[in-house]
Chain A
């Protein structure tokens, strides 16, 4: 456990050292800010963040998260530091968890920055604390899934760009495409696509509903990708 803490702290320090993290943060806030203004400051509109947080934010994350996760392991492979990491007395699980949690903490910082939107809308109506907490809870689960997918692809390749692109494509498919395609399908395919669709699972959180169905979806798929990431990392030893 102590190793995980050490690794998490190091990962976090790398985020705050690297310029890409700040660029990502700026772009993230810039784009979500644009959507926030576009949708919410209309005469007669409801003082709600459901569209911004429930739809636009996840979509922006699909494009932004790969930029954060693509370097996680790919950089270590390229730089050769994976060798000193994997010959230190830390397990492969510790390594993956450390990188995962480090990224999650940085993601949490990004979410804290979005509190600005909450505060701005609060000026126009009473604050529904439960709804806000529920939405952020859902966003954390969503973020965890995205990070785990990114971490998995980063473990697969030395090339950051390939890792980032694969992450982007998979996230786009499960977030955007699945929902869109589900509308045109019937029967079993429709059900399957709906179960895979991240947006479908997340939207309830944005409505203030914590459904265990969705909770389990996020938790299990995140765990699944983290497990795969550990296995891919282990397999590197044999190659």
Chain B
């Protein structure tokens, strides 16, 4: 559905997008992750035909975004980050205006407005001027606008930003529902949102892709590097030495807090040393009061690679 190859865009001296390539297959929900200023919005704007790229290729449903711009626009529903709307128009008027721009006839428009009103829960405020709506309502109108012409491809830039927790949950459910019938490119820096909704994720930083894969694949890449936490009461040096001597243990960090030693155990080759630690502590008569594996989250991964600017299997 979406094919991007070696896309680049510069703004003056700043390389906003620097030779990125990726694909989005039909029916996928791709999460586009990255810190602010990474190039997510610029990439999206290139795909929606707002900016032309400096180099590279981008096609949506086979149409080139530069040469066949109108066809791309007809098939893409775009919700920009700020969900811009005209404050003086009523929601229904606005949706009607946008539907007209997509060349829809009167009957089609009426049906479409009904469809998106139900789908995006606009019912109670559909006839209110947009200037009077709350942020969450405006976001939903913006989403309705993206859906009004029933496009095959949806591009959503931070769709849950600024919403309250209930609305966030509703919007995420909505996006998951939409994912069944549309191909979605979702931009976010809310990591667990991407983990929940997306079938695949791409992490972009400074205009380059630094990681890609299914959310749990990415998480697994670092769970091997997550420590096992254990709290043992015993003589600190001896505890550290003994635990470090267990097979499968790579390194041990020890911290003594009010009589208890808190160990962060790094394992090699994804070994599970929990039973060994228990047996060791029991054998030496040391009390063991907590043992848990820190589940690495995508957030740790994200912070780690964007901070270190590592390139992990990209």
Contacts and interface: CB of A to CB of B under 8 A. Distances in A.
User: What secondary structure prevails in chain A residues at the interface with B?
Assistant: helix
Interface in A76-133: 79-81, 83-84, 86-91
A6 B97 contact: yes
Nearest to B77: A87
A84 B78 contact: yes
Contacts of A38: none
Interface string B48-87: 1111100000000000000000100110101010101111
Interface stretch (A10-18, A172-180, A196-204): A10-18
Nearest to A18: B88
Nearest to A89: B73
B85 A238 contact: no
A80 B80 contact: yes
Nearest to A91: B70
A239 interface: yes
Nearest to A3: B101
Contacts of A90: 101
Given A6-B97, A80-B82, A87 B103 contact: no
A86 B84 CA distance: 12
A83 B101 contact: no
Interface in B14-49: 45, 48-49
A2 interface: yes
Contacts of B76: 87
A237 interface: yes
A162 to B, nearest CB: 21
B102 interface: yes
Contacts of A13: 89, 93
B253 interface: no
Nearest to A88: B101
B97 A79 contact: no
Given A10-B97, A18-B88, A89-B70, A83 B102 contact: no
Interface residues of B, number: 28
Contact of A81 (B45, B73, B85, B100): B85
A2 B86 contact: no
A2 B103 contact: yes
Contacts of B101: 3, 6-7, 88-90
B98 interface: yes
B145 interface: yes
A88 B52 contact: no
A2 B104 CA distance: 11
A7 to B, nearest CB: 8
Nearest to B93: A13
B97 A87 contact: no
A189 B102 CA distance: 51
Contacts of B78: 84, 87
- Interface core residue of A7, A86, A89, A90 (most chain B CB under 10 Å): A89
Contacts of A239: 11
A72 to B, nearest CB: 13
Nearest to B86: A81
Nearest to A17: B88
B82 A88 contact: no
Contacts of A6: 97, 100-101
Interface of B: 11, 45, 48-52, 70, 73-74, 76, 78, 80, 82, 84-89, 93, 97-98, 100-103, 145
19 contacts: A2-B100, A14-B86, A14-B88, A80-B82, A84-B78, A84-B84, A84-B98, A86-B49, A87-B48, A87-B49, A87-B78, A88-B73, A88-B101, A88-B102, A89-B103, A90-B101, A237-B51, A237-B52, A239-B11
The 8 closest A-B CB pairs, nearest first, are A80-B84, A89-B73, A6-B100, A81-B84, A87-B48, A88-B101, A17-B88, A80-B82
Given A10-B89, A80-B80, A84-B84, 11 more contacts: A2-B100, A10-B97, A13-B89, A84-B80, A84-B98, A86-B49, A87-B48, A87-B78, A88-B101, A88-B102, A239-B11
